[in-house]
Amino acid sequence: MLRFQYSGKHKAGGRDLSLDSLQQKLGYAFRDQNLLRQALTHRSSHVFNNERLEFLGDGVLNFAVAEMLYRRFPQALEGDLSRMRARLVREETLAEVAQSLDLGKHLILGIGEQRSGGFRRASILADALEAVLGGVYLDSGFDAVHAVIRRLLGHHLSDELIKAQLKDPKTRLQEYLQAQGKSLPRYELVLEKGEAHNKRFVARCHVQGQEPVDAEEGSRRKAEQAAAALMLEQMGKVG
């Protein structure tokens, strides 16, 4: 079976010394250094890149964060847990964590990505971090990668974050727009259908500078809340 190999210049006993600082910040030392190198290799650079590890890491990350939230907030509803997880695993958060690790300087990029500053691009940083987590899982299993994820994301579970997450979507959207000095959202009932005992409502949320979004629920209030949640997602402000 073909296997990724990296021929670095700074090695000692099979360990790539140039990655020591990254592993120290991760709080984890890879037994198989080739897994770490592959996790840092963008598809623009090598056929054995980090895309498969990214896929694996994404799944591991979502499960680990779900478990953390489930245990940390035993009274939270499923919808609240989903919003909190979405915020913790979104690209913006993962790129921020990757930057704190100086992950960008360790990325192996093709010439084009190097020249265009790919080492600073949020999507590349977030994907590489997920790949690293996938590598940790393959290297040592779930307990090891779960410990790394707790170390990297645990501080994001602040009381302020949680209070924000537990607010309903209409409140969060209004507060965000007010903080930006923008006009408040407007809600419109665009469709009411079904028998009296089984009504369905379609609400539309309007925000200046954004495409309107529609949501359907069993009450007008729930439809407006769902539309607000979709608008937050569209604006990149999930949770």
Interhelix angle 78-89/51-72, nearest 10 degrees: 140
Catalytic residue (one of 80, 130, 139, 224): 130
Contact 124, 92 (CB under 8 A): no
Cα–Cα distances in angstroms (integers) from residue 195 to residues 189, 200, 204, in the given order: 17, 9, 21
Closest CA to 36 of 51, 23, 24: 23
58 is catalytic: yes
Amino acid identity of 173?
L
Residues with Cβ < 8 Å from 101, sequence gap 6 or more? 22, 25, 26, 129, 152
130 is catalytic: yes
Catalytic residue (one of 16, 54, 58, 224): 58
Residue positions annotated with a catalytic role = 58, 130
